[in-house]
Amino acid sequence: MLKNVEAQSCYYGMDTVITSKAYGRYAKRALKAAAKEALRLEKLLSRFIPESDISRINRSAGLNWEQISDDTLEVLSQAGKLSNYSKGLLDITIAPLVDLWRAGKDTLEIPDDLRIKQLLPLVDHKGLELNFHGKAAILHKTGQAIDLGGIGKGYAGDKLLKLYKKYDISSAFVNIGGNVLTLGRKPDGSKWQVGISHPREENHLIGTVEAADKAVVTSGDYQRYFKDSQGKRQHHILDPSTGYPAESGLVSVTIVSDSSTAADGLSTVLFVAGKEQGIELLKNVPNTEAIFIDTDLVVHITAGLTDCFHAVRDIKVKVLN
């Protein structure tokens, strides 16, 4: 009879570093299969791979329907539902503006306001239509393009956890570029400790979350940003309604959820929404908790995290009602 073993892996996929730790009789096989799965999903969902489903949809914007895989159809469907629920705070058709700001990062200058306003009409998730029976998708506006940066890694995380379960893995910890997923508890029976980065002190934590069978995903203004010629921080989380980096009074949002896809998308939604609106949006989302860090570095946690969030040093924590 095979004994339980612990296996670890580290590789590059989904445009980031993926580290995994699994415990079970088939742990090594599971990690090898997971690496192949991550590569398969990247080939479908990355807009930077010319023959991916997303690239083909983008090239055919305003012209033709494109046949897509079940996975692409599912992630686009989930993104659409979250866009509708949040009234557009998450919009995967934001790619033209993402590219514009990426060019600004190279020159350390914010894009021209007129150019932003010209591109804003292209940011419209309702311009994406899905045919579930025919497994096809189309963007109806010429120039539109999809970017799954706000939800793609989350979807991949859910797929990897399902794969681990097929290999009878009893305990696992996966980190997809900061998107953390936990399966079961640690082999010793304790919960996994997931670090929450300090948004203003590099390589320091502001606290930890105890997690088991949960996804823990953070969106923050410190992850990808540049300082313009005036010294202002210009981060990568854009407000789809303005075309500029979101200014919601928050510097970081962490979501703790049963679903990695939901956690990934909601962390972006709540960052753009701000604390007050974010709390209202969470009320109708079951089994989901949040950590908001405001510009004064005060940590606000939802009530369900009272016993499992642990701040470090003298960080001020407030529990939300």
User: Using one digit for the tens of pLDDT, what is the confidence trace for 228-248?
Assistant: 777 788 889 999 999 999 999
pLDDT at 232: 80
- Asked whether the predicted pLDDT for residue 147 surpasses 60, the reply is yes
Sheet holding 66-67, edge to edge: 66-67, 136-139, 128-131
Is the domain spanning 47-139 CATH 3.20.20.80? The answer is no
- Per the annotation, binding residues are 150, 264, 268
Q: Which of 30-34, 106-110, 140-144 comes out lowest in average pLDDT?
A: 106-110
pLDDT of residue 109: 82
Label residue 127 by pLDDT band (50, 70, 90).
very high
Residues contacting residue 280 through CB under 8 Å, at least 6 positions apart:
none
Percent over 70 (pLDDT), the chain: 99
Name, in order, each residue with C-beta under 8 angstroms of 215's C-beta and a sequence gap of 6 or more.
154, 157, 158, 179, 180, 181, 182, 255, 256, 257, 258, 259, 260, 262, 263, 264
Residue 1: pLDDT above 70?
Answer: no
The whole-number average pLDDT for the span 189-203 is: 94
- Find, among 8, 30, 29, the residue nearest to 19 by Cα: 8
**Average pLDDT value over all residues in the chain:** 94
- The answer to whether 8 touches 163, Cβ cutoff 8 Å, is no
pLDDT of 2 reads 63
Structure-derived torsion over alpha carbons of residues 128, 58, 248, 250, reported in degrees to the nearest 10: 120
CA distances from 191 to 64, 186, 208, 289 (A): 49, 6, 11, 17
For the stretch 266-298, pLDDT in tens is: 999 999 999 999 999 999 999 999 999 999 999
Taking CB atoms within 8 Å and a gap of at least 24, the contacts of 220-228 are 220/251, 220/252, 220/253, 220/271, 220/293, 221/245, 221/251, 221/252, 222/197, 222/251, 222/252, 223/178, 226/104, 226/105, 226/108, 227/108, 228/104, 228/108, 228/109, 228/110
Q: What are the residues whose beta carbons fall under 8 Å from the beta carbon of 217, sequence distance 6 or more?
A: 154, 178, 179, 180, 254, 255, 257, 260, 263, 264, 266, 267
Would the CA dihedral through 183, 77, 47, 216 be positive or negative?
negative
pTM (2 decimals)?
0.95
pLDDT of residue 155: 97
Residue-level pLDDT at 73: 98
**pLDDT digit string (tens) for 297-319?**
999 999 999 999 999 878 899 99
Tens-digit pLDDT profile for residues 39-52: 999 999 999 999 99
Residue numbering of the annotated binding site for Mg(2+): 150, 264, 268
Which residues are CB-contacts of 206 (< 8 A; sequence separation ≥ 6)?
A: 196, 197, 198, 199, 252, 293, 297, 299, 311, 312, 315
* CB-CB contact of 235 with 224 (8 Å): yes
Q: Residue 209 has what pLDDT?
A: 98
Residue with tokens 């990808």: 224
Find the DSSP H helices in 63-172. 70-85, 95-107, 113-119, 152-166
